[in-house]
Amino acid sequence: MKVFINPGHGTNDPGACGFGLKEAKVAAKIGAILERKLNAAGIETKNLQTDEFGSIPVIANEWGADLFVSIHCNAANAVARGTEVLVYRFNSQGATLGEKVQESIVARLGTVDRGLKERPGLYVLRTTDMPSILIETAFIDEARDNALLASRQEDFADAISVGILAYAGINALSDIASTRKIAPNGEPYDQNDIDYLLGEGYTLANALSFLDTTDKYSNSDMKAAAEYAESRVGSTGYGNNGCTEWVRRFLLKANHPFGQLMTDGSQGNLMWVPNIMSYAKEHGLWKEAEEGGALGDICLLETNYCKADGPDHVVVACGDGNYWGNSSSRNKIVKSSIAGDYGADNVYGYVATGSGAGKAVSGKCSRTAAEIVGDAGSTSCVNLAPNGMVYEENDIQYLVGEGYTVDDAIIELSKSPKYNSAPARIAPNGKPYEQNDIDYLVKKCGYTLDAAISELSMADKYIK
């Protein structure tokens, strides 16, 4: 098989730009890595980036390419993000190739899935003789996508190669999995480990993500992190809603890759508790509560008595049923019993960031409702008011201090204008969208109202 690789734009045309990155350079880097990976799998390639745009399809046709792959970065309004693949026609071999590549990129990078787009007017798709695709890897002018384009070019190339090989019917897993990525400790993955997880139903991306957390492949040092946590017990914490900041610092001290993901935002906002659970489940890192928390696992908890809405607090498991965590009410780092402070029934589960065996906790909480809510802070969309807003923890705690129970405080707050005004569209961070932001996308950019809300929901302003 012969694959023609065309990184978009060229020396005199940088393409789209954002945050110091140029589309042409990013595409060239991904294209070079893709060429190496396909060659390792026995695929013949030609890689051409040129300012002579019109010559590209001619050269691909004359070379006798079996597939044509053009690599680009998208740009729009600094809000849109995600991956899409452009094809000449739906219901074609090019579309089949595009679907494989699109699925692979989304699974590997966790980008927003914008799907296939039919573009019969595009020159490179219209004038090539073979199945052809144009990949818009991510949006270079959107901060989170830009971070992916800057730091994970090899992963983009890897995902594209897996999609191409899947289209060609080549077993990409056996041919290139052992060389497609090096584990955090600098060693290649053992194919037997990958095959075992694939047999258990993992995708390749999820299998590798899970292996990253194991003692065999991780370069993390949970002993050093545990010593750090012990030294911090009783010291000043990170304030209201500081639970994820404590977990992030613990994992960075352990040199664990999940801590870096929380820091760089490359996989979305993992400082938001529900997103941590979603990411863990999507990437093979989730452990049910009955499996127990090992030393260094992230324990996800319910503290606001609205379990159907998802977890709202995180602590670090000690491996023996205890935890290290940030106490909002005391503004201290504390060590205590998971069951004694929160109750075993309020443990959602664990993210497998730790090492060793875990102990499942049992028992009832011995603390009052006010202590639990005050200790954790509000980190999730729970206890929604009549207008759809989230009750602010400071408001709840003020009334608790006046002698209200938590439940009575919420009832009282629901009657106030702040929480009982006209329904508002609420962003993931629990705050209403600003009307001027909605108006800009609707009136200036041609978005529908629903599409504008969807785009705004992915902006840093409304996630953080």
Beta bridge partners of 188: 182
52 is catalytic: no
In this prediction, residues 82-90 reach a mean pLDDT of: 95
- Tokens representing 53 are 């745009």
Question: pTM to 2 decimals?
Answer: 0.45
Cα(302)–Cα(350) distance, rounded to whole angstroms? Answer: 13
Domain boundaries, the chain: 2-178, 183-212, 222-376, 426-464
Q: Which band of pLDDT confidence, cut at 50, 70 and 90, is reported for residue 444? A: low
Name the DSSP class of 236: B
Q: Spell out a b/e string for 102-117, using b for 16 or more CB atoms within 10 Å of the CB, else e.
A: bbbbbbbbbbbebebe
What pLDDT, on the 0 to 100 scale, is given for residue 355?
78
What pLDDT, on the 0 to 100 scale, is given for residue 50?
95
CATH superfamily assigned to domain 222-376: endopeptidase domain like (from Nostoc punctiforme) (3.90.1720.10)
Cα(170)–Cα(194) distance, rounded to whole angstroms? Answer: 17
Most confident option among 341-350, 422-431, 432-441:
341-350
Torsional class of 243: left (φ above 0), alpha (ψ -120 to 50), beta (otherwise): alpha
Which residues, other chains included, contact 162 with Cβ-Cβ below 8 Å and sequence gap of 6+?
Answer: 104, 108, 172, 176, 180, 204
What pLDDT, on the 0 to 100 scale, is given for residue 174?
37
Contact between 126 and 88 under an 8 Å Cβ cutoff? The reply is: yes
For the chain, what percent of residues have pLDDT higher than 90? Answer: 39
CATH no. for 2-178: 3.40.630.40
Name the DSSP class of 189: P
Contact between 299 and 338 under an 8 Å Cβ cutoff? The reply is: yes
- Tokens representing 360 are 């499942």
Please write the tens of the pLDDT for every residue from 165-181: 889 886 544 333 333 45
More confident residue, 258 or 216: 258
Contact between 348 and 338 under an 8 Å Cβ cutoff? The reply is: no
What pLDDT, on the 0 to 100 scale, is given for residue 44?
93
More confident residue, 445 or 95: 95
Name the DSSP class of 390: B
More confident residue, 138 or 396: 138
Could you tell me which of 395, 294, 271, 436 has the C-alpha nearest to residue 351?
A: 294
Q: Which band of pLDDT confidence, cut at 50, 70 and 90, is reported for residue 456? A: confident
Residue 334 has pLDDT above 90, yes or no: yes
Cα(35)–Cα(277) distance, rounded to whole angstroms? Answer: 36
Which of these is catalytic: 136, 142, 302, 371? 136
| Structure-token match 């090989």, residue found | 165
What pLDDT, on the 0 to 100 scale, is given for residue 75?
93
In this prediction, residues 18-25 reach a mean pLDDT of: 92
CA dihedral 267, 433, 313, 208 (to 10 degrees): -10
Displacement of CA 209 from its chain's centroid (Å): 12
What pLDDT, on the 0 to 100 scale, is given for residue 175?
37
Lowest mean pLDDT among 1-5, 74-78, 451-455: 451-455
What pLDDT, on the 0 to 100 scale, is given for residue 172?
46
State the DSSP string of 400-443.
HHTT--HHHHHHHHTTSHHHHSS--PBPTTSSBPPHHHHHIIII
Could you tell me which of 105, 92, 180 has the C-alpha nearest to residue 138?
A: 105
Cα(428)–Cα(453) distance, rounded to whole angstroms? Answer: 11
Which strands form 322-327's sheet, in the order they lie side by side?
Answer: 286-288, 347-351, 298-301, 313-317, 322-327, 332-337
